[in-house]
Structure 1
């Protein structure tokens, strides 16, 4: 973890401008071609949710701004950020969070995720670990091919953890598409960084092995 200091005056003004807003998050939704990803996932019989969460977290960890967090009006950069994603439970019809330490190895991540999910099914959790902000909040909306989404969050004080959601897959021009929504704090993440994230996801899908 390291502290980020803006040397460029305009970048500092950009941070201050958006950080002073009551609702500084912005959200972009776009469709991603997951045809190759799904073909490989099915061929190798990989668990869909864990494989997708790992891919989306890999794309985020490749972008420094997605690892930035605001603490006491200062910016720190985590070495890695870790997915905290929704899973069904045995207790009720609403979800539990499942937080899994990110691993560059897909196989290691899947193994760890499955062991934690089993616990969350019978012991659901809605709480983040106190003092931690090295998360990526993720959620699946598999019933809807949505075109936009708005997340519940605290406005005061607002947090700086990105939200990543995906929806129901659908066919288009002989391809399988997935709606993907990304919400981030605008003082840290700008449109260019959002574009890089979507490009990373598409590249990882296109070259999935």
Structure 2
């Protein structure tokens, strides 16, 4: 997973980056309702895991928007070619461990890696929190118990610029299926336009055959 330093002298968002980077509370979240009809009526009937299909759609959305793969370290901004998708996996005895799933454009390739990473996390006895893996990662959570309308995440400090994604219960509405999804970002790197592009790309992936 290569990374590239962003040239602040030519980056169009340098002024915004420096402005929002100094905020005490620079994170913001947006929650939208996505259409999961194709996922629930077609792909699920084909034996495809709804959870892993959502995870892949999220990865598709993140990698469709370069700003969501940007991170800053002090005054240095980098862009990752690929990021790991990290989500909690319940352990048999209770609690959970974090999994780290590599992203592939191909769902078949992604699914193989996801199955392995999730199985490994389920057998761990430690949390495996990201204390040394670096910032080429995005955090996500599935909340299948709730059809939420908004969501906020626990953040360690104002310098944490790793995106957080959460998605909720998939519910039937007339002849469609809907689910809530939240994306929380650092405003020094991500604007509303980038949010919109992310959700459009996720919806595109959810609509895939």
Structure 1 length-normalised TM: 0.92
Q: What per-residue deviation string (whole Å, max 9, x for no partner) do you get for residues 107-128 of structure 1? A: 1221122122222112142411
| Preserved CA contact (<8 Å) 2:31 2:181 | yes
Corresponding residue for 2:82? 80
Q: How many residues matched?
A: 206
Q: How does 1:36-115 map to 2 (within 5 A)?
A: 36-92=38-94, 94-115=95-116
SS at match of 2:98: strand
CA distance in 2, matches of 1:166, 1:16: 31
Q: Which ranges of structure 1 fall in alignment gaps of 5 or more residues?
A: none
Quick one: distance in 1 between partners of 2:34 and 2:41? Answer: 15
Aligned to 1:11: 13
Q: Distance in 2 between matches of 1:53 and 1:152?
A: 21
**Deviates further, 12-21 or 122-131:** 122-131
Map residues 185-196 of structure 1 onto 2, 5 A cutoff: 185-196=186-197
Shift of 1:131: 4.8
User: Structure 1 residues 3-12 or 23-32, which shifts more?
Assistant: 3-12
Indicate conservation of the 8 Å contact 1:100/1:116, yes or no.
Answer: yes
Q: Which runs of 5+ in 2 are unaligned?
A: none
Following TM superposition, by how much is the alpha carbon of 1:9 offset from its aligned partner in structure 2, in angstroms? 8.4
The secondary structure found in structure 1 opposite 2:13 is helix
Structure 1 equivalent of residue 143 of structure 2: 141
* Per-residue deviation, residues 57-107 of structure 1 (Å, max 9, x unmatched): 111101100110011221100011120012211131x33211111122211
Mean CA deviation greater in 127-136 or 146-155: 127-136
Moved over 6 A (4+): none
| RMSD, aligned α-carbons | 1.7
8 Å CA contact 2:57–2:203 kept in 1: the answer is no
Contact 1:91 1:122 in 2 (8 A): no
Question: What TM-score do you get using the length of structure 2 for normalisation?
Answer: 0.92
